[in-house]
């Protein structure tokens, strides 16, 4: 096994379909095609894939991370991790962690003030992964998911702007 990490090639429809397949496999109720298009077409540079170059399908993603970044209430730049998936047979090798690190590094270099995501309260693996990187739980959301579970909103602060209430951040002072 030799895992190679690379950015999404939005022109590669095969890759697009593979990412969708990979993520759909983990969801009880899948996202529509519009969600994938929303992320991948608008922020293709913030989607990364992991492939096993030594496998029989060296171009098929076995892991991926899908992100976006945009201004939050016009006062701070917020990166957002929308989806993260690793094929079950490849889990336990630190692939998810590496994908998250690559994505955060990219968003940090693009001047994000913070990274945000939501995850299920019961998803211990995801919580361990993100909290090990410094994310903290900011709030709990009641029955957030269609499967009726609560969720935590997690944030990783990258700059001091993340640590001041939006109301008190002056408009037009974005980094």
What residue ranges bind other proteins (CB under 8 A)? Answer: 10-11, 13, 29-35, 37-38, 41-42, 44, 68, 82, 101, 104-105, 108, 114-115, 121, 131-134, 136-144, 146, 148, 150, 152, 155-160, 162-165, 167-168
Q: Output 77 or 162, the one with its CB closest to other proteins.
A: 162
Q: Output 142 or 171, the one with its CB closest to other proteins.
A: 142
d(CA 92, CA 117): 21
**Minimal distance in Å, beta carbon 6 to other proteins?**
17
Burial of residue 160 (CB within 10 Å: 0-12, 13-18, 19+) is exposed
**Minimal distance in Å, beta carbon 55 to other proteins?**
26
Q: Output 53 or 150, the one with its CB closest to other proteins.
A: 150
Give the C-alpha distances (Å, rounded to integers) separating 59 from 42, 54, 99.
23, 10, 17
The CA-CA-CA angle for residues 161, 167, 173, to 5°, reads 50
């Amino acid at each position: 096994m030799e895992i190679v990490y690379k950015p999404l090639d939005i022109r590669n429809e095969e890759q697009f379909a593979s990412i969708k397949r990979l993520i759909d496999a983990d969801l009880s109720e899948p996202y529509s095609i519009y969600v994938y298009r929303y992320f991948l077409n608008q922020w293709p540079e913030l989607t990364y894939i992991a492939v096993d170059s030594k496998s029989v399908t060296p171009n098929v993603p076995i892991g991926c991370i899908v992100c976006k970044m945009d201004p939050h209430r016009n006062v701070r730049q917020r990166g957002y991790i929308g989806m993260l998936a690793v094929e079950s047979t490849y889990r336990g090798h630190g692939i998810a962690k590496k994908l998250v690190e690559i994505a955060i590094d990219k968003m940090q270099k693009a001047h994000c003030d913070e990274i945000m995501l939501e995850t299920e309260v019961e998803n211990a693996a995801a919580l361990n992964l993100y909290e090990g990187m410094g994310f903290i739980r900011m709030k709990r959301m009641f029955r957030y998911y269609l499967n009726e579970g609560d969720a935590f909103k997690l944030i990783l602060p990258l700059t001091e702007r993340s640590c001041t209430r939006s109301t008190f951040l002056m408009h037009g002072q974005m980094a």
